[in-house]
Amino acid sequence: MKLEDLKKQVRSGALYSCDDEELAVDQLKYLQKLYKYNKTKPVQQKKREKMLKAMFAEIGENCYVETPFRSNWGGSNVHFGKNIYANFNLTLVDDADIYVGDSTMFGPNVIVCTAGHPINAKLREQVYEFNIPIHIGKNVWIGANSVILPGVTIGDNSVIGAGSIVTKDIPSNVVAFGIPCKVQREISEKDDKFYFKDMQIDPELLK
């Protein structure tokens, strides 16, 4: 199979064997770019922005990705909107496409994983894998140490609590957390008044 056809299969959701030498060699090109990104200094933000534009499938303006940053394909299957912030040690298992909307924030040590393996042990012995895209909406906050699994969609404005494992879709405008992650409540008018427990928001900030 030609490399480009194989790469399409990798992103199709179908089972494939990831033990392909040509695919591995191609992947190294993207990992080398990622390695260089992680060697940049905090003061080299302009350089980082330029590198991310070359690494990602799409990326909007004013995005900041802290190092270290991990990605199976160096971000080449990642589609970022604008004004996105990713804290330390974001891991994007981008064997399939990952879409992230504007103004979304990732806490430290978040994992977004499009890849999975069959339960069947014989297939795993043959290193079979599948990859399903992940969609994260606008203005989403994903708390530290959360894991988002293949095929998940998270709606706009939602908050994923720290340490969650997201196995199913999460709708817009909710607070969700847990293992597995479940909707705990809708975002309400109370959230316009308080930012943490009984700590009040200055109304001037919302004008």
User: So which residues are the catalytic ones?
Assistant: 117
pLDDT of residue 1: 65
Nearest to 13 by CA among 120, 133, 154: 133
Task: Record the tokens describing residue 21, joined without a space.
Answer: 């030498």
* C-alpha distance across the termini of the chain, in Å: 58
CB neighbours (10 Å) of residue 115? Answer: 17
Q: DSSP class of residue 172? A: S
Q: What is the pLDDT of residue 163?
A: 98
Cα–Cα distances in Å, from 48 out to 39, 45, 59, 62, 107?
A: 10, 5, 12, 11, 19
> Interhelix angle for 3-10 vs 21-38, to 10°?
70
Low-confidence residues of the chain: pLDDT under 50:
none
Nearest of 123, 97, 72, 79 to residue 8 by alpha carbon:
97
DSSP 58: B
pLDDT for the residue numbered 16: 87
Residue 126: predicted pLDDT: 92
Domains of the chain: total: 1
Residue 24 tokens, joined:
């591995």
pLDDT of residue 84: 98
Q: What is the pLDDT of residues 13-30, one digit of tens each?
A: 889 888 888 888 999 999
* CATH number for the domain harbouring residue 102: 2.160.10.10
DSSP 6: H
Range of the domain at 71: 3-206
